[in-house]
Amino acid sequence: MRRLALVALAMLVAVGAAGAWSARASSSSCRTDHLVPLMNPEAKPGEVPVVFIHGITGDPSIWTHPELNGGPSIAHQVESVAGTSVWTFNYHQVSLNWVTDPAIGPAFARGISCLAKESGRRVIVIAHSMGGLATQYAAAQPDPNGGTVGSHLARVITIGTPFEGSKLLSAVQGAELGREISDPATLVPAEALLSQCAGESEAALATNTASPCWLIGILRSPVGLDLMYRSPAIAALTRWNASIPVSDITGDMKLTVGVWHLHHTFDVGDFAVTQDSATAHNTVGSPIHVSCQAAIAHILDELDCYHSHLPWNPTVVNAVVSEVRDVVQQAAGGPEVALGLPAASGAGSRPSEKGFGTVRPATIYLGGDPTGLITGISWQHWGAPTATGDGTGWYAPGIVAQGHYAHARVIAWHLGVCGGKPAYEDLEWYFPQYNQFAFKSGLNICTWQQNQPAPAPPSSASPAASPPVATTTCGNVGAPPAVAAVAAHGVTCAEATKVAMAVYQQHNSHASGFNCTTVGVNAASGFYWHCARNADWVNVVPQ
């Protein structure tokens, strides 16, 4: 129980990553004791400022901690996006105060305004935990040049922010006061924490930071009360302006509790912040849910979707970097990625089609019966090598008239050039609930011609014969019926084939330094994998 007690409140405590943090000197007039460059020596005019802001009791080192799989930190990967200047806002010394503290929300507002004015660009904010609430407060503050600070925000990406407060904190507080807790998902961890810390003295809670029970002291601080679920302090914050693009990321932990054959699974969010609270203000596409499962006796062994570990989760890092790259591309005025070309531009003939040749289409229609129509699509990672969208389609495994509407997952991939502009050349969609593809044509949606068979893979005896190229197809791996096609960017086909073999046949999601995630599934032949290592990637697609 001691281990559980440690984690129960540590989820809200954005524990600083191991290792020292230091900022390089900068001549920027925006630099203060709180706002400093995290990676680059100084900002340059025209660069998009990206500001990381930590959570309660955290510090900037949380952003330079390596990924859980050993990959580069989120800060290093964002810094590698051309056209950015990376900053951090550090309020560690006052982080037990509420966001209205002059050194938190008001100071952050001034920093955002200054960076926007100096760079000539709107600012991207990446916020963990209470940092998202500090951003919400800052966005509503008046700007010296008129309007509000929120007008200077190009994108806000929140990671585990308790927009509605924490049910866990409320449950622990209620249990201490003898109130009945009706929600089992918060009752179990709250009771475990209190039983572990029952014997600790007030002095130990206040001073003994080596004890996990010291975290109970946070509850008895002003910020502990302010962070409780739907607290007056949270209700008093000005609501987000609808024009500010906000992307929310949440943990989705399935916590199993039980003895012998009697078990029950609870949805506990990231353990400190439930999903409804962490996604309360999402305005860009669909919120990102990072899932994991844990038994209560082994909860510390399941790290991926914990509150304090979310900034180190490879799925979170990939999502953040993709969004930053997308915003920077738009700011630079470069052409955005489109979905292929209209069929009339190619060799095919689909007079009723919709969505092709457009950016982030909300509707895709192939023409014909309703099975070729997907509506209400919300996209994620648009502009990355693989984009995924969620919408509604007509699921009809047999007779079309006997089908029904269902959630559809859309996959756009094979980033290339169509008509001189960047575009996705391949499109598929499937119904996750039924594990069945609905559209898998094999057509190139730029030319509307059948894709050519992939060339044979390179000889393993001469890997040097396949130099790194921008994008290439590398043949197939596996044997029937488990065959997958491999496409690569920035790596040799020999290395790409090794990565593909590792993930497709061994399901090793961290092959050769690549972080691999599934972006779709073909019921007949398996998972679609997308593997990334900085700017390099490998796609593994079932045939």
Would you say residue 6 lies in a domain?
no
Say whether both 484 and 527 belong to one domain: yes
The length of the chain is 543
Please indicate whether residue 60 or residue 387 has the higher confidence score (pLDDT).
60
Q: How sure is the predictor about 458, in pLDDT bands with cuts at 50, 70 and 90?
A: very low
Would you say residue 8 lies in a domain?
no
What is the per-residue pLDDT for 360?
78
Would you say residue 374 lies in a domain?
yes
What is the per-residue pLDDT for 508?
47
Please indicate whether residue 215 or residue 173 has the higher confidence score (pLDDT).
173
Contact in structure between 101 and 108 (CB atoms under 8 Å)? no
Say whether both 159 and 175 belong to one domain: no
What is the per-residue pLDDT for 310?
92
Q: Residues near 259 by Cβ (< 8 Å), separated by ≥ 6?
A: none
CA atoms of 79 and 72, how far apart (whole Å): 11
Say whether both 248 and 262 belong to one domain: yes
Mean model confidence pLDDT for the chain:
75
Would you say residue 1 lies in a domain?
no
Say whether both 243 and 354 belong to one domain: no
- Least confident stretch, 34-48, 254-268, 473-487: 254-268
Domain boundary among the residues 304, 331, 358 is at: 331
For residues 347-363, average pLDDT? 71
Please indicate whether residue 309 or residue 46 has the higher confidence score (pLDDT).
309
CATH of the domain at 70: 3.40.50.1820
Domain boundary among the residues 282, 311, 331 is at: 331
| pLDDT(357) > 50 | yes
**Angle at Cα 488 formed by Cα 482 and Cα 491, nearest 5°?**
125
Q: How sure is the predictor about 135, in pLDDT bands with cuts at 50, 70 and 90?
A: very high
- Of 487, 484, 468, the closest CA to residue 476 belongs to 484
First to last CA, the chain: 48
What is the per-residue pLDDT for 436?
66
| pLDDT(3) > 50 | no
- Least confident stretch, 142-146, 182-186, 297-301, 313-317: 297-301
Would you say residue 3 lies in a domain?
no
Say whether both 446 and 340 belong to one domain: yes
Please indicate whether residue 381 or residue 217 has the higher confidence score (pLDDT).
381
What is the per-residue pLDDT for 325?
87
Q: How sure is the predictor about 375, in pLDDT bands with cuts at 50, 70 and 90?
A: confident
Would you say residue 250 lies in a domain?
yes
Say whether both 195 and 108 belong to one domain: no
Say whether both 182 and 323 belong to one domain: no
SS3 state at 402: helix
Contact in structure between 438 and 372 (CB atoms under 8 Å)? no
pLDDT tens digits for range 205-262: 544 444 445 556 667 777 888 998 999 999 999 999 888 999 999 988 876 665 455 5
Report the percentage of the chain scoring pLDDT > 70. Answer: 67
Please indicate whether residue 66 or residue 291 has the higher confidence score (pLDDT).
66
Q: Is the peptide bond before 481 cis (omega within 30 degrees of 0)?
A: yes
Longest dimension (CA), the chain: 78
Q: How sure is the predictor about 190, in pLDDT bands with cuts at 50, 70 and 90?
A: low
Domain boundary among the residues 276, 299, 331 is at: 331
CA atoms of 233 and 137, how far apart (whole Å): 11
Query: Which residues constitute the domain of residue 173?
Result: 167-226
Say whether both 157 and 49 belong to one domain: yes
**Angle at Cα 286 formed by Cα 235 and Cα 246, nearest 5°?**
50
- Least confident stretch, 11-25, 314-328, 367-381: 11-25
Would you say residue 33 lies in a domain?
yes
> Hey, what are 363's tokens?
């509707």
Looking at the structure of the chain, the number of domains it has is 4
E strands, 27-152, where? 35-37, 48-53, 84-89, 123-128
Would you say residue 9 lies in a domain?
no
| pLDDT(419) > 90 | no
CA atoms of 225 and 231, how far apart (whole Å): 7
Q: Residues near 102 by Cβ (< 8 Å), separated by ≥ 6?
A: none
For residues 366-395, average pLDDT? 81
What is the per-residue pLDDT for 14?
41
Say whether both 318 and 383 belong to one domain: no
Say whether both 98 and 243 belong to one domain: yes
What is the per-residue pLDDT for 36?
93
- Of 353, 475, 511, 336, the closest CA to residue 418 belongs to 336
- The dihedral formed by the CA atoms of 197, 199, 205 and 211, expressed in degrees to the nearest 10: -60
Contact in structure between 491 and 510 (CB atoms under 8 Å)? no
Please indicate whether residue 43 or residue 514 has the higher confidence score (pLDDT).
514
Most confident residue range from 107-111, 206-210, 405-409, 512-516: 107-111
Q: How sure is the predictor about 488, in pLDDT bands with cuts at 50, 70 and 90?
A: confident
Say whether both 428 and 535 belong to one domain: no
Contact in structure between 532 and 317 (CB atoms under 8 Å)? no
DSSP per-residue codes, 198-237: TT--HHHHHH-TTSGGGGHHHHTSHHHHHTBTT-HHHHHS
What is the per-residue pLDDT for 17?
38
Say whether both 120 and 266 belong to one domain: yes
Phi, psi of 508 (to 5 degrees): -90, 110
